[in-house]
Chain A
Amino acid sequence: MSSTVSPSFTACLICGTRNQPKATVCKECSAPMALVHEAEAQQRPPRIVSVVGDSNVGKTVYLGFLLDMLSQRANQFEAIPRGAYSVDLPQNVISHMAYRMFPPKTPVESSEWNWAYYQVCKRGRSPKWVDLVMPDMAGEAIAAEVAAPSTFRVIEQLLARSSGVLLLVDAALAAHGSAQPDFFGVKMLSYLDSLYTTDRRKRIEVPVAVVLTKADYFPECFDDPRRFAQANLTRLCNLCESRLAKVEFFATSVVGALGYATSENDDVVTSIPLHVSLRGVLEPFEWVLQQL
Chain B
Amino acid sequence: MDSANAPLRRPADARSSVGPLRAAFDMLWPLAIGIGLAALLHKIVPMFSDTYTSRIVTDMGIAMILAVSLNIVNGMTGQFSIGHAGFMALGGYTAGFITYYGSLWMWGSYEKHGGLFGPGAWLFVASCIVGGLVAAGAGYVVGLPSLRLRGDYLAIVTLGFGEIMRVILQRTGKLIESAEQVRAANLADFFPPPVNGSLGFNNLPKYTNLFWAYTFLAITVIAAYRLKQSSLGRAMISIREDEIASQAMGVNVARVKVLAFVLAAFFAAMAGGLLAHESGFMLMPKDAGFQKSFDYLIMVVLGGRGSITGVMLAAALLTALPEALRGFADYRLIIYALLLIVMMLFRPQGLFGIHEIWDLWPFRRKAAGGEVKA
A is bound by B: no
| Chain A contact residues, CB within 8 Å of chain B | none
| Chain B contact residues, CB within 8 Å of chain A | none
